[in-house]
Amino acid sequence: PADVGGNVARFPGLDAAHSALLGRLLAGDGLDRAELDDIAKDLRLLPDGAIERINDWGFDRFEEALIEEDDRVTIPGHLREALREAEAAE
């Protein structure tokens, strides 16, 4: 995986910053929108653009969006496992 600015591109097809954001979502049970916004800004990403980019990547890989937004920003359970497999394949 490529290392850019201390962040490693963990998911093929996503750059290091988007990979880091996706990794943070995958690591827990989701984030409050304010938390996601703060993490995205720390990674020098626009939050809505980052969600769109990750969801576009998800459609290409899994034929569905990866990120769901309700009370929290989350990744559906069945996609969490698919993402872990994609990450392990690298």
Residues 8-37 pLDDT 10s: 567 888 999 999 999 999 998 899 999 999
pTM of the model: 0.86
CA distance 89 to 26: 16
How confident is the model at residue 50, as a pLDDT?
Answer: 97
Please write down the HEC assignment for all residues of 13-67: CCCHHHHHHHHHHHHCCCECHHHHHHHHHHCCCCHHHHHHHHHHHHHHHHCCCCC
Report the Cα–Cα distance between both ends of the chain, in Å, rounded: 7
Kindly report, residue by residue over 48-88, the tens digit of the pLDDT.
999 999 999 999 999 999 999 988 999 999 999 888 887 76
Asked if residue 4 has pLDDT above 80, the reply is no
- Compute the distance between CA of residue 25 and CA of residue 75 in angstroms, rounded to an integer: 7
Q: State the residue for tokens 């990403």.
A: 45
Q: pLDDT value at position 71?
A: 84
- CA dist 83 and 70 (Å) reads 21
